[in-house]
Structures are given as structure tokens and as C-alpha cells.
């Protein structure tokens, strides 16, 4: 029987190196340049960023989600999960480690479904951090419900012509290209009639109407775009994967990505818990430390229990993906971590804000952004309610209706059956005597 919560010693050394490197070399970038590294660095920033990326390559931790043929380590989901727990502490860390969203998922689907020409034009520069990308799927009127999408791509000779609106296309303002989902055959329905396309952002007809900021962000800070595609023409060879195969492509990028996001959330939530504990031990009020107040102790205990449970569920899900190599088999638990993720982040950040008092609400601490991030996670990659539906449907398939009028746990017939069984055993013992 194998049952082990330890990490391979050689890989633990790599994690220890990553932990020190992120703390000492990468987190300072967040403080000076802000916590989002989604804009291609200018010449001045490259003087700092490129040597850091090289150190990551030298340590064998660059783009670890991709195989060696693409310059990565080809790690499984469990190893990636443990690494992403560390990277989650810093907005710049995923960029420095070659695994920033949405580029990781986009690189993965180009690696799986792209033609040699697409890989040369887009994949390698993406992996090198020379360009960024955007995933343009959801629509203003439909959200993440593909059955309500209206964006179309119509074949016209050697080109596809794309028309429609897309909403919350993250990172579009700094992307070199977009991956766009559009109907190519309405009669085939949403799940077999949509296709994916690579669309350079400078293509005529691509109009980034505006960028939305999250809550208190200004529109200049926002990185989630409303895009109008008006008679956008792309070559036929810009089709990504098979015609009508958009959902096969989409599931390739989403399953593992949700594990990565979840473990990065663990890293952020752990940071909030660390701040909470430090504050509790540092602040006196009403004659004693905050740490001696029962309400504060309860907040700390609840946060630790919530975080520990979530972390174990995410690692178990990652282990299952590695064990079975089947995202569909693990679909229920992938959806489960997506359901849990926003609540864990929001709850722990909110408690940390409360313990920090007025200071916790200011921009001088990262707690407000953490809590807003938790709220955003409840909508990113599909709303929480949709994933709850998935969990329930998947779970119910393991059960069947009760036979007859009463539930199978109804006690009267069970008691009667138990008495009959015991009576038979007693009769058998008496016969043997």
C-alpha cells in the first residue's frame, strides 16, 4: 500500500530554490513595477527580467508544463501544483518562470493542435516571453455559456471572415495574437459547430473597444477587453485544430489550468494567513495582544483549516490527473476545486482585513486586492454555479434510485433483516453445540 505525503527529495530541493528565488529576486518586481507582468518588457526592464528568466532555465524550472521538445521539463500535474503554490505569491513569478496565464494554456493548445507553421510563428516566441496572447471566448450577452454565443466565422475562399463581440478577453491589450472561438456550423450545435482561430491583434477589423478594470481599478489599469470583430479576415491556415473541434481544444487548456490557478490561490491565501498571524502577535488592544482574543484565534483557526483542506483536495486532484491521464475521469474533482477556490481566498482575505483593521482596507497592504481576486475567481473560467452543477451531475451518476417506497436507509426493514441474520447465526451455534 502506497500512502505518502512527502515530496521527492530532489524535487524538494528545486522547490526550496524556487521559494528563495521568488522571495529574494521576483517579489521585489511586484513592489516596484506592480503585481502584473503581462505587458512585454521594454529595453530597461529586460535588463532585469531576462537574467532572471535565465536563472530559472539554468535551474530546470522554465515552462515546466511543456515537454522537453518545447524547452520545458514535462512535469506532471502534482509537481506543477507544488511549484505553482510558490509562484502564486507574486504577480511577476509566472512570467519569470514561463507559465503566465493565459499564455500557458494558449501555448499548450498550440503545442497540441498547432501546425508546424503556427508553432514557428506563435509558440516559440510565446515560450520565450517575447510576445503575449489572449483567449477570446466569452461574450457580453452570454458570459461563459457557449450555447448562447453568436460570433461566427464564415469560409470565403482561402479565408475565414469573423464577426461578433467578445467580452473579458484577458490581456488583449498587450497580446500579439488572440485565440478566438466562433461558430463555423450553427446547424451542428454549440459543441460540434464551433472552431478556434489564431487572430493577430493588428488584423483589420479587430477593435479593442475598451478595457475593464476590476472594481477599483481604473480603465487604464484594466486588462479585460471588450472586443468587436467586424469582417475580420484571417487565412484558412489560421484554423487551430479541426473545424468544429473548439471544445476539444478548450478542454485541453482548461483542465490543468484550473489546478495551476488553484495552487497559486493556495500560495496567495497562505500569504494572507501569514499576515494575519503576524498582526495578531504584533498589535495590542484592550489590554492584551490580538492573538489572545478568542475571536481572533477562531479566525486564525478557521482560516488554517479551510486552507489545509483546500490544498489537500487540489493536490489529490493533481495526483489523479497524473495517475489516470484522463481529464474526463477527474472532471468532478477539477470542478470541485474550482467551486472551493473563490470562497477560500475571499474568506481568508476578509478575516485578515478585519484583523488588520482600517490599515487592511488601504492600498498599503495587498489584502484588498486578494479579496477582490477571490470574488473574480468565482466568475473566471465559468461561474461557480456552473461548476457546482458539474460536481452534482458527476456525483449522481454513481447512485441509483431506491427500490420501492422507502429510502434504502429506512430503519424498520433493516432492523428486521438484522434480526433474521442474528437469529440464523444463533440457531447455527446452537446446532453446533
DSSP state at residue 136: E
Instruction: Render pLDDT for 274-326 as a digit per residue (tens, 0 to 9).
Output: 999 999 999 999 999 999 999 999 999 999 999 999 999 999 999 999 999 88
CATH number for position 74: 1.10.540.10
Neighbours of 69 (CB within 10 A): 8
Whether 252 shows a pLDDT value over 80: the answer reads no
Q: End of a domain among 220, 240, 260?
A: 240
**What gap in Å lies between CA 229 and CA 205, rounded to an integer?**
6
When pLDDT is averaged across residues 428-433 and rounded to a whole number, the result is: 67
Judged by DSSP in three states, 417 sits in helix
Domain assignment present for residue 96? The answer is yes
Q: What is the mean pLDDT of the chain?
A: 91
Residues 107 and 174 occupy one common structural domain: no
Does a structural domain hold residue 228? yes
Quick check: is 309 in a domain? yes
Number of domains in the chain: 3
**Location of C-alpha cell 490544498:** 311
Predicted local distance difference test score (pLDDT) of residue 137 = 93
155 and 222 housed in the same domain: yes
Same domain, 261 and 390: yes
Work out the pLDDT band at 332, boundaries 50, 70, 90: very high
Provide the grid cell at 179.
485565440
pLDDT at 69: 77
pLDDT at position 131 = 86
The pLDDT assigned to 108 comes to 82
Other Cβ atoms closer than 10 A to 331: 16
43 and 157 belong to one structural domain: no
Given a cut of 80, whether residue 16 has pLDDT beyond it is yes
pLDDT tens digit sequence for 70-118: 778 889 999 999 999 999 999 999 989 988 888 888 888 898 899 999 9
d(CA 64, CA 86): 14
DSSP H or E run through 194: strand 194-200
Q: Which of 114, 144, 165 is the last residue of a domain?
A: 114
Q: Are 51 and 150 part of one and the same domain?
A: no
What pLDDT is stored for residue 124 in this prediction? 82
Q: Is the pTM of this model over 0.85?
A: yes
Q: In Å, how far are 131, 198, 433 from 121, measured between CA atoms?
A: 11, 11, 86
Contact criterion met (CB below 8 Å) for 72 and 56: no
**Three-class SS of residue 36?**
coil
Residues 224 and 188 in one domain: yes
Same domain, 375 and 278: yes
Specify the pLDDT at position 218: 67
Cα–Cα nearest to 77, from 328, 319, 333:
319
Domain assignment of residue 127, yes or no:
no
Please state, in angstroms and rounded to a whole number, the distance separating the CA atoms of residues 261 and 373. Answer: 12
> Same structural domain for residues 255 and 375?
yes
In-domain check, residue 413 = no
Look up the CATH number of the domain holding residue 363. Answer: 1.20.140.10
Given pLDDT bands bounded at 50, 70 and 90, which one contains residue 145? confident
Domain boundary among 240, 268, 302: 240
User: What are 70-80's pLDDT values in tens digits?
Assistant: 778 889 999 99
Predicted pLDDT of residue 183: 97
pLDDT at 349 exceeding the cut of 90:
yes
Domain with 46 in it:
9-114
Give me the CATH number covering residue 181.
Answer: 2.40.110.10
Residue 3 covered by a domain: no
User: Do 167 and 201 belong together in one domain?
Assistant: yes
Residues 385-421: tens digit of each pLDDT: 999 999 999 999 999 999 999 999 999 999 999 999 8
- 259 and 319 housed in the same domain: yes
Same domain, 175 and 231: yes
430 in any annotated domain: no
For range 330-357, the mean pLDDT: 96
Residue 401 located in a structural domain = no
Q: List phi, psi (to 5°) of 266.
A: -60, -45
Q: Does residue 256 share a domain with residue 332?
A: yes
Amino acid at each position: 500500500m502506497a500512502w505518502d505525503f512527502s515530496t521527492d527529495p530532489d524535487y524538494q530541493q528545486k522547490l526550496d530554490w524556487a521559494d528563495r528565488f521568488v522571495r529574494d529576486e521576483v517579489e521585489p518586481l511586484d513592489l516596484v513595477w506592480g503585481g502584473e507582468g503581462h505587458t512585454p518588457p521594454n529595453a530597461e526592464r529586460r535588463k532585469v527580467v531576462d537574467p532572471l528568466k535565465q536563472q530559472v532555465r539554468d535551474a530546470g524550472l522554465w515552462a515546466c508544463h511543456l515537454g522537453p521538445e518545447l524547452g520545458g521539463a514535462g512535469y506532471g500535474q502534482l509537481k506543477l501544483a507544488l511549484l505553482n503554490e510558490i509562484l502564486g505569491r507574486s504577480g511577476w513569478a509566472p512570467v519569470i518562470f514561463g507559465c503566465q496565464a493565459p499564455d500557458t494554456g494558449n501555448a499548450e493548445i498550440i503545442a497540441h493542435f498547432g501546425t508546424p507553421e503556427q508553432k514557428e510563428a506563435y509558440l516559440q516566441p510565446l515560450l520565450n516571453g517575447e510576445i503575449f496572447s489572449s483567449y477570446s471566448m466569452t461574450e457580453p450577452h452570454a458570459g461563459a455559456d457557449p450555447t448562447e454565443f453568436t460570433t461566427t466565422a464564415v469560409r470565403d475562399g482561402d479565408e475565414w471572415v469573423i464577426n461578433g463581440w467578445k467580452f473579458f478577453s484577458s490581456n488583449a491589450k498587450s497580446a500579439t495574437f488572440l485565440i478566438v472561438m466562433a461558430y463555423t456550423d450553427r446547424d451542428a450545435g454549440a459543441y460540434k459547430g464551433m472552431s478556434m482561430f489564431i487572430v493577430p491583434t493588428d488584423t483589420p477589423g479587430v477593435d479593442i473597444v475598451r478595457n475593464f478594470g476590476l472594481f477599483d481599478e481604473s480603465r487604464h489599469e484594466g486588462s479585460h477587453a471588450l472586443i468587436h470583430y467586424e469582417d475580420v479576415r484571417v487565412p484558412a491556415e489560421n484554423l487551430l485544430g479541426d473545424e468544429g473541434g473548439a471544445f476539444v481544444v478548450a478542454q485541453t487548456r482548461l483542465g490543468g489550468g484550473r489546478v495551476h490557478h488553484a495552487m497559486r490561490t493556495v500560495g496567495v491565501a497562505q500569504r494572507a494567513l501569514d499576515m494575519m498571524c503576524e498582526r495578531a502577535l504584533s498589535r495590542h488592544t484592550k489590554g492584551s495582544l490580538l492573538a489572545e482574543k478568542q475571536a481572533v484565534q477562531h479566525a486564525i483557526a478557521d482560516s488554517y483549516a479551510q486552507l489545509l483542506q483546500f490544498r489537500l483536495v487540489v493536490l489529490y486532484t493533481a495526483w489523479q490527473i497524473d495517475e489516470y491521464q484522463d481529464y474526463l475521469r477527474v472532471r468532478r474533482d477539477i470542478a470541485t476545486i474550482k467551486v472551493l477556490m473563490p470562497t477560500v481566498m475571499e474568506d481568508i482575505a476578509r478575516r485578515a482585513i478585519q484583523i488588520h483593521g482600517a490599515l487592511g482596507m488601504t492600498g498599503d497592504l495587498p489584502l484588498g486586492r486578494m479579496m477582490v481576486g477571490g470574488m473574480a475567481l468565482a466568475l473566471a473560467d465559468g461561474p461557480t454555479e456552473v461548476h457546482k452543477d458539474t460536481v452534482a451531475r458527476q456525483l449522481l451518476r454513481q447512485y441509483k434510485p431506491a427500490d420501492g417506497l422507502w429510502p434504502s436507509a429506512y430503519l424498520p426493514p433493516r432492523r428486521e433483516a438484522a434480526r433474521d441474520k442474528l437469529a440464523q447465526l444463533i440457531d447455527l451455534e446452537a446446532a453446533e453445540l
